[in-house]
Amino acid sequence: MRFRTFLKYNADEEKLDRQFKSVLLEKVMAIENSMYYTIRKRRGIWR
């Protein structure tokens, strides 16, 4: 609870949003890319 209170009064909300969204998007894209190639390999469409 203390951490949330600290963030509420001291954090730059816009900066944190930008950092979180960029990291999240990179991870989602990496997972999607990995799944795409795994599915293609299993279906025999691998090149």
Which amino acid makes up residue 13? E
pTM of the model: 0.43
pLDDT of residue 1: 61
Residue 34 main-chain phi, psi, to 5 deg: -65, -45
Please state, in angstroms and as integers, the Cα–Cα distance from residue 25 to each residue in 4, 6, 11, 22, 47, following that order: 24, 26, 22, 5, 27
Give the pLDDT confidence of 4-41 residue by residue, as tens digits.
Answer: 787 777 778 788 777 777 777 778 888 888 888 888 88
Please state, in angstroms and as integers, the Cα–Cα distance from residue 1 to each residue in 4, 5, 7, 8, following that order: 5, 6, 10, 11
Q: What are the structural domain ranges in the chain?
A: 12-47
